[in-house]
């Protein structure tokens, strides 16, 4: 009987290692795919619904509060493999604009608690401005049934571009698009 338990325990350990290895390989394959994909932004001018969200310490904010600025809004979650895979590229783009008073980043998590987002940011060494929202606060026109869902807003508060799925946000085309939005409103 002791031998059977050793065999079962050994088999369980081997299976756990294999599952962990498969997860690791899958994540890195997704990350490579995401980081090789430019979002290919296409300019649009669509009315922007308001979105309510909260700071990680519980203060309510609204998308409308940022009219007059170029806004990069990313709806994501710690549970979403493409969201996690693209986050280093979002951080790199943010680093480029973090001192630019004309550009605002709103990295809004859904289905996560503020504590979970803080833990994720700390583990990943992210300095992005993270927020949280509830599904019922997301307007239906912002549901793409795929996450992450990313929106760029012009200074007049309209949607200037939108993208569903992970992408390399550090691609030079994104910076050019944002710089164009900054100039267009002057």
3-state secondary structure the chain: CHHHHHHHHHHHHHHHHHHHHHHHHHHHHHHHHHHCCCCCCCCCCECCCCCEEEECCCCEEEHHHHCCCEEEEEEECCCCHHHHHHHHHHHHHHHHHCCCCCEEEEEEEECCCHHHHHHHHHHHCCCCCEEEECHHHCCHHHCCCCCCEEEEECCCCCEEEEEECCCCCCCHHHHHHHHHHHHHCC
pLDDT means per 10 residues, the chain with 186 residues, are 72 63 53 67 91 97 96 96 95 98 97 97 97 92 87 96 95 96 79
**The pLDDT value given to residue 84:** 95
Please report the pLDDT score of residue 42 as a whole number.
Answer: 87
Note the pTM of the prediction, 2 decimals: 0.82
Under 8 Å between Cβ of 61 and 130:
no
The pLDDT of residue 33 is 56
Task: Report in angstroms the alpha-carbon separations of 98 from 103, 129, 158.
Answer: 8, 10, 21
Is 67:155 a contact under the CB 8 Å cutoff?
yes
Q: State yes or no: cis peptide before 148, omega within 30 of 0.
A: yes
Is residue 151 within 8 Å of residue 73, measured between CB atoms?
yes
Confidence at residue 14, expressed as pLDDT on a 0 to 100 scale? 62
Distance of alpha carbon 102 from alpha carbon 179, whole angstroms: 10
pLDDT of residue 50: 94
């Amino acid at each position: 009987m002791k031998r059977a338990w050793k065999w079962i325990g050994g088999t369980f350990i081997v299976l756990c290692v294999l599952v962990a290895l498969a997860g690791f390989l899958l994540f890195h394959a997704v990350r490579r795919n995401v980081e090789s994909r430019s979002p290919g932004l296409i300019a649009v001018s669509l009315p922007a619904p308001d979105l309510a969200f909260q700071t990680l310490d519980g203060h309510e904010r609204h998308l409308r509060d940022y009219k007059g600025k170029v806004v990069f809004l990313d709806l994501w979650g710690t549970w979403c493999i493409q969201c996690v895979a693209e986050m280093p590229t979002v951080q790199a783009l943010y680093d480029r604009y973090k001192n630019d008073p004309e550009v605002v980043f709103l990295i809004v998590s859904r289905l996560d608690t503020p504590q979970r987002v803080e833990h994720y940011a700390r583990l990943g060494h992210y300095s992005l401005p993270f927020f949280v929202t509830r599904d019922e606060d997301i307007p239906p026109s912002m549901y793409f049934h795929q996450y992450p869902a990313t929106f760029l807003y012009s200074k007049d508060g309209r949607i200037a571009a939108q993208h569903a799925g992970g992408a390399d946000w550090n691609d030079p085309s994104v910076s050019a698009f944002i710089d164009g939005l900054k100039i267009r409103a002057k």
